[in-house]
């Protein structure tokens, strides 16, 4: 089975995360950058790999596809809490009336 490399011109989202090298040997990187593109496999890059790719992008800006990152709209949850309180004691004026009239 050969190496499958993403060679599409279609816009594909990718996710990147710093992951720990769980079986790092003495000279190995302690962390990798995991890049996972939609509908493909995961790729692991060292810091040196990422710096090399960054320098290539700086050197060849005409080949870089412009991407704008926007913050997702915050999800607003509106909860209306209504609490009914039943009061068994008579109100202020009713208590005064009761003291004055005895009724």
Question: Alpha helix locations (H) across the chain?
Answer: 47-59, 92-101
Given a cut of 90, whether residue 59 has pLDDT beyond it is yes
pTM above 0.95, yes or no: no
The whole-number average pLDDT for the span 42-64 is 92
| Burial of residue 35 (number of CB atoms within 10 Å: 0-12, 13-18, 19+) | middle
Quickly count: other Cβ atoms within 10 Å of residue 37's Cβ. 15
Please report, for the chain, the start and end positions of each structural domain, with discontinuous segments joined by +. Answer: 14-63
pLDDT digits over 78-94, tens only? 767 776 666 666 666 67
The per-residue pLDDT for 41 is 79
The per-residue pLDDT for 70 is 78
The per-residue pLDDT for 49 is 93
């Amino acid at each position: 089975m050969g190496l499958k490399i993403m060679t599409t011109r279609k816009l594909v989202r990718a996710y990147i995360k710093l992951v720990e090298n769980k079986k790092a040997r003495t000279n190995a990187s302690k962390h990798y950058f995991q890049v996972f593109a939609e509908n493909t496999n995961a790729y692991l890059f060292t810091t040196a790999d990422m710096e090399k790719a960054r320098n290539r992008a700086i050197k060849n800006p005409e080949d870089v596809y412009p991407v704008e990152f926007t913050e997702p709209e915050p999800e607003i949850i509106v909860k209306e809490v209504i609490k009914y309180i039943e009061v068994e004691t008579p109100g202020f004026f009713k208590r005064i009336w009761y003291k004055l009239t005895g009724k």
